[in-house]
Amino acid sequence: MPRTLSLSLLLAGASFAFTAPGQAQSADPANLLPQERAPAAAPKTPAQADSQDPDYDRPTVDSAFAAYSDPVVQKVDPLIQHWSAAQARSLVSLIESIGKEGLEPSDYDLAGLRAAIDAGDGAALDDAASQRFVWLIEDMRDGRTPMAARKQWFVVDPDPDRYPTGTVMATALKSDDLAAALKSVAPVHPDYAVLKAELAKAKPGSDRARLVRANMDRWRWLARDLGSQYLITNVPEFQLRLKVGDKIVRTYKTVVGKPGRTATPQLAEQVEGVILNPTWTVPQSIVKGEGLGTKVLNNPGWARNAGYKATRGENGYISVVQQPGPGNSLGLMKLDMPNPHAIFLHDTPARQLFNQSDRALSHGCIRTERASELALTLAILQAGLTAEEGVEKLTSGEYTRVAFQKSMPVYITYFTMATNIDGKLAKFDDIYDRDAPVIASFDQPRVANRARKTSEEVVEIVDDLKT
């Protein structure tokens, strides 16, 4: 079902066309349609959970993950009875060279493994080799950094379920290729390889090497495969990318949360649709705290011009909703991506902010440059609309939700060293001071049985757009 994407628009000050800018790679429109392979979706918080319920309990440890702490090869496959001495020696070699992946050989007790090898085949060798293999797989697949050092990291990595440790071990011993097994759980995103190459050039123990290693680990916190088509934004870079495969189709400047309580958290969610001409439910911090509710009720003419509608309940509670329009605080579109933080990507009437170099200015949500272009692009790719249909809905001025035929992953990440939109390795300001805990964790003993989910508070972000 090919779509024509040649229509040029001048909407919200942005030209909509599929001639990619110099920093992005151009693509045949036919190749931008949803791919046959379904994008890999990270597990989400259950939809039925009420993010505003103070009793909502975020689990900290997945029961299946906990089982990996006591690996028994025989339970994985009855055909595999033990580790041979030769396989255990291969494991020693693998651990000795693991520094090139940004991990520490000292984490895996090589002395204990060598002692077990010297003692000969048997249960002791099986246990010693299995345990160290598990540690290695966990660190490469899930990241070495404990959850306590991953500040505001609310991504739940699906890889322990996709690549169970026991299955990886069984495959390694059957094939007699431990290195291939380790590679099978390593990140496949091109940035990981770029950082790995940079680590090889950096002076061991230098600040640069430590920063590279921290950002390599951040890739392990995400799904190994991000999917065939997805959105990804790197908060410290103030950029959003629309990617198909490994190619950047479009890039957009962003405005992200101010440091502090309104800092943008890191998420992996699903975009289920786009909302054109959205309404904005004004938070009570403004309705009540700043007196907007009373002002709207007492000044109907002013409220009408500003697009506000207010209602007062029997209990005196005032709610205010800003209607669609060019002055709406969410602009002309927002992405429908349900999550307990109320974080989403949206337009803004304050488009002059995209000209600033430091764009950590919002109350947590991500304001997106050329948002109308992004909305129409996704409506075409994910909902099957023609460009003409999308424009008609957008210019109608009416609230419209365009549901996707297939949801699309969106990743809100935090990398302080990564390739920029020109494909060059770059360092970005650590605007939320999140590097230090990660770097420091590598100087501490390895944490076993790490939680898969953070126990940090879910802060519901309210972007009041007063900036």
Tell me the pLDDT tens digit for each residue of 194-240.
Answer: 999 999 999 999 999 999 999 999 999 999 999 999 999 999 999 99
The stretch 85-93 carries a mean pLDDT of 97
Range picked from 18-27, 85-94, 165-174 for highest mean pLDDT: 85-94
Give the domain extent around 298: 284-322
Q: Give the pLDDT confidence score for residue 341 in this predicted structure.
A: 87
Residues 313 and 328 in one domain: no
Residues 94 and 7 in one domain: no
Tell me if 98 sits within 8 A of 442, measured CB to CB. no
Take residue 443 and report the two structure tokens written for it: 């100087």
* 433: amino acid identity, one letter: D
Residues 142 and 99 in one domain: yes
- Coil vs helix vs strand at 52: coil
Tell me if 330 sits within 8 A of 346, measured CB to CB. yes
Q: From the centroid of its chain, how far is CA 213?
A: 19
Domain membership flag for residue 451: no
Domain membership flag for residue 443: no
Domain membership flag for residue 240: yes
Taking the C-alpha atoms of residue 154 and residue 44, their distance in angstroms, rounded to an integer, is 10
The total number of structural domains that make up the chain: 3
Residues 365 and 408 in one domain: yes
Within 13 Å, how many C-alpha atoms sit on residue 283's CB side?
13
| pLDDT higher than 50, residue 62 | no
Could you tell me the end-to-end alpha-carbon distance of the chain, in angstroms, rounded to an integer? 43
Domain membership flag for residue 344: yes
168-190: per-residue pLDDT in tens?
999 999 999 999 999 999 999 99
Q: Give the pLDDT confidence score for residue 138 in this predicted structure.
A: 96
Tell me if 294 sits within 8 A of 420, measured CB to CB. no
Residues, the chain:
467
Take residue 324 and report the two structure tokens written for it: 């669609």
| pLDDT higher than 60, residue 80 | no
Domain membership flag for residue 185: yes
| pLDDT higher than 60, residue 69 | no
Domain membership flag for residue 331: yes
Domain membership flag for residue 452: no
Q: Give the pLDDT confidence score for residue 459 in this predicted structure.
A: 64
Residues 259 and 370 in one domain: yes
Domain membership flag for residue 48: no
